[in-house]
Amino acid sequence: MKTYQVAFPLLAIALASGCSGRDTTGPTSTLTAPGSAASSRESDEARGSHRGTLHLEKECSQYTGMAGSFCTITASNLAEIPIGTREFALKDADLNAATLNSDGVLFVRDGQLALNHCAIFDIFATAGVIGNCVFSGGIGHLRGFQAKLVVSVNKDDPNKADFDGPYTIGDPD
C-alpha cells in the first residue's frame, strides 16, 4: 500500500498541471463594476461562474483509511459533481486516533477534478458533525472551484457522510 502514498499525489499533480497551464489552487476572482450588483451577476454568468450552497452525500465502503482508497458521491446538487464521482485520499488516516488530516482529489473523469483538504476528527462516528473539507481549485468544469464544507454523518444512513456549505465555481480569469 505504500506505493499509493507516492503514486496518488504524483497523479494529482500530473493531472492538475498537465491539463491546464494555470495554477489550480489560485483564488477565484470576481469581476464587478463598482456599485453594481447586477453587473457582478452578469459578469459571473458570462464567465460561467456561479455560487450557492453545495450538498454532497458520500458512500465510503471502498475507503480503507489508506492513501488511494476512495468514497463515491451518491447524491449531489451540483451538475459539475455528478453521482459516481470519486474522492481519493492522498494520505493514510490515523486509524488509532480515528482521524484524517489529508489532501484529496475529487475525480469526476479525465480532465475534470478538484483538489481538497479534509480534517476529520472521528472517522468512526455514527452521528453528528465529524470535520470539514476545503476545496481550493480544480480543472475542467471544476476550474475555479472553491468550497468550505462541514462533514457530518448522514442522519438517514450512518454509513454515509454529508458535505454541506457554500461554494463558488468559475473561470478565475
Burial status of residue 31 (CB atoms within 10 A of its CB: 0-12, 13-18, 19 or more): middle
Average pLDDT over residues 80-101: 95
Domain segments of the chain as ranges: 2-23+53-169
Sequence-ordered strand ranges (E) for 14-128: 50-59, 70-76, 86-89, 100-109, 112-120
Q: Radius of gyration (Cα) for the chain, nearest Å?
A: 17
DSSP class of 28: P
Structure confidence by residue, pLDDT tens digits, 8-66? 443 443 333 333 333 333 333 333 333 433 333 343 444 468 999 999 999 999 999 99
* pLDDT at position 44: 40
65-85 tens-digit pLDDT: 999 999 999 999 999 999 999
